[in-house]
Amino acid sequence: MESLQAVSSWPVETAATAVVDARGEVLGTHGPIDRRFPLASVTKLLTSYAVLVAVEEGAVEWDQPAGPSGSTVRHLIAHTSGLAFDSTDVQAAPGAKRIYSNTGFQVLADFVEAATEIPFAEYLAEAVFGPLGMTSSTLDGSAGAGATSTVSDLVRFAAEVQAPKLVSGELVAEATSVVFPGLRGVLPGYGLQKNNDWGLGFEIRDGKSPHWTGASSSPRTFGHFGQSGTFLWIDPDAGVACVTLTDRNFGEWAVAAWPAFTDGVLAESGRTRG
């Protein structure tokens, strides 16, 4: 795919990218796809999928109390527990506001760890990395931002989310649909959003503007980006996913480059699949 070569013009030293369709076919790659990069908040997608496995197994339930008083597992994974971004301060009642929270994800992981009696990093490896053959992926830090992986591994993950085998399709559909709709909140890097829509761990594009995906991305597009200059999006209407990892932290360069890149990928992938 020629559109992927655009990463070579970005102000980064190294970038790797790939596109995979809903059948698991890789449509194109560019750059060192087997190089390990810190994922930052793209980690949350992997953590969330491990939570889906725990729910499917019956180890935890969405409406179990977890986190601040009145909060549940569902609140934590949807950034509506009221916990602050990076502390245990409670800034709102559960379900009242979308407060993006790294702390909430660590509380969530700790809850799963207690329920399964397996260290969360080990649970993630056993529940997600191992079955998907993600042999270069590890969780070395927080459950919200501490994973390291490769484009090759994340292509396997993106293929799984598009055609689930580890959990039911119904559960993935629930996780990638809006929960607690209509909540205001700040999308990191992009400011206050009137409807800061989120699923169960997956950020949903919907009508957000500005946004890190493209003008041609469907409202149902979901995924996550990371402050380490990384992103993974899946556009179910287009039937494709894109993984991109870089070695430069998110900033104005990414705000300018990513949407146009995404539009190019979507345009070409439509032609490729056609």
Q: Note down the domain range covering 162.
A: 2-273
Interatomic CA distance for residues 113 and 107, integer angstroms: 10
- What's residue 53's pLDDT? 98
Q: What is the pLDDT of residue 272?
A: 55
| Rounded Cα gap, residues 196 and 207, in angstroms | 9
For the question of whether the overall pTM of this predicted structure is more than 0.95, the answer is yes
Asked if 238 contacts 211 with a C-beta cutoff of 8 angstroms, the reply is no
221: its two tokens? 């597009």
Residue with tokens 């496995």: 53
Q: For residue 219, which phi and psi values (nearest 5 degrees)?
A: -60, -25
β-bridge partners, 16? 245
* Cβ-Cβ contacts under 8 Å for 117 (sequence gap 6 or more): none
Per the listing, tokens 């602050």 go with 84
The low-confidence residues of the chain, meaning pLDDT below 50, are 274
At 270 the pLDDT is: 82
CATH number at residue 206: 3.40.710.10
User: What is d(CA 234, CA 191) in angstroms, rounded to the nearest whole number?
Assistant: 22
Q: At 189, phi and psi to the nearest 5?
A: 85, -15
Is residue 266 within 8 Å of 5, Cβ to Cβ? no
How does pLDDT run across 158-214, given as a tens digit for each residue?
999 999 999 999 999 999 999 999 999 999 999 999 999 999 999 999 999 999 999
Paired strand residues for 72:
65
pLDDT for 34-44, tens place per residue?
999 999 999 99
Task: Find tokens 């146009």 and name the residue.
Answer: 260
Please, how many CA atoms are within 13 Å of residue 245, restricted to the half-sphere of its CB?
25
Rounded CA-CA distance 106/38 in Å is 17
Q: How many domains does the chain have?
A: 1
Cβ neighbours of 141 (radius 10 Å): 15
Q: 243 by DSSP, 3-state: which?
A: strand
Q: Where are the alpha helices (DSSP H) in the chain?
A: 43-57, 73-77, 102-116, 120-124, 130-132, 151-162, 169-175, 252-273
254, 260, 274, 271: which is closest to 15 by C-alpha? 254
CB atoms within 10 A of CB 105: 27
Q: What pLDDT was estimated at residue 126?
A: 98
